[in-house]
Structure 1
Amino acid sequence: MKRLLRFSLVGGVGFIVDAGTLAILLHFTPLGPYVSRAIAIAFAVCATWQLNRRFTFGASRHSLIREGFRYGSVGLTSSLVNYLIYAGVVFTYPEVNPLAAMVLSSASAMLFSFFGYSRFVFRR
């Protein structure tokens, strides 16, 4: 239960990185909601890897490269789920604020991420 709480806190930081990056890109660039969200997700995955490694799960028994590959694999899959839900909401309901769509999609991907990271990347 402590791990899930720490994971949720790290996820909160990742959410802030994701939302902040998305908001900045939407406001200051012509990239649009789809490209901006893909970039924001990449920043968030990098931030959460370092925090989960240090704070939630601890370093795995694997090399940093292998751990990074595993984390990236789970992160990419989770991000794909997250992005597809986001894109589906934005496409289906264009009047919805992209940040609101991000909240829904991020919540959907959270449990998948926790089990993937705890069972595949950082298992002891």
Structure 2
Amino acid sequence: MRRILLFALVGGAGFLVDAGVLALLLHVSPLGPFSARIVAIAAAMLVTFWLNRTFTFGRSDRGLAAEGTRYGGVGVSAALLNYAVYSAILLVFPAVWPVLAVAIASLAAMVWSFLGYSRFVFGASASSK
């Protein structure tokens, strides 16, 4: 239960980075809500990797490069799911505030990423079983 709570807190921090970067880019740059979101997702992924590795799951026995590659793979698949839900919401409901769409999309990707990170990234490697 502790791990799920920490994961949720890290996810909350990731959401703040994601939504904050998105809102900032929408305010100060010529980027639209779709291209700005890609930058925001990347920033959030870097922050959550560090926080999850440090506080939620701990380091695996794979090494930083392998761990980061696996995290990136799960993160990209979760981001694609997240982005698809975000885009669908904005396309179906164009008046929706983009940050609200971020919140809904982030919740949709949360279960997928927890399972991937806990089992595929930070779980024991085959050599330690």
TM category (shorter chain) comes to over 0.9
- Aligned pairs for 1:1-124 (under 5 A) are 1-124=1-124
Q: CA RMSD in A?
A: 0.6
Distance in 1 between the 2:87 and 2:38 partners? Answer: 10
Distance in 2 between the 1:117 and 1:17 partners? Answer: 19
Deviation at 1:30, TM superposition (A): 1.0
Distance in 2 between the 1:39 and 1:90 partners? Answer: 18
Deviates more, 1:47-56 or 1:86-95: 86-95
Distance in 2 between the 1:13 and 1:100 partners? Answer: 16
Distance in 2 between the 1:113 and 1:31 partners? Answer: 27
Gapped regions of structure 1 (runs ≥ 5): none
Distance in 2 between the 1:20 and 1:33 partners? Answer: 13
Deviation at 1:92, TM superposition (A): 1.3
The TM-score normalised by the length of structure 1 is 0.98
The TM-score normalised by the length of structure 2 is 0.95
Percent identical residues: 52
Deviation at 1:94, TM superposition (A): 0.7
Distance in 2 between the 1:60 and 1:27 partners? Answer: 39
Distance in 2 between the 1:16 and 1:101 partners? Answer: 13
Q: Across the two proteins, how many residue pairs are aligned to each other?
A: 124
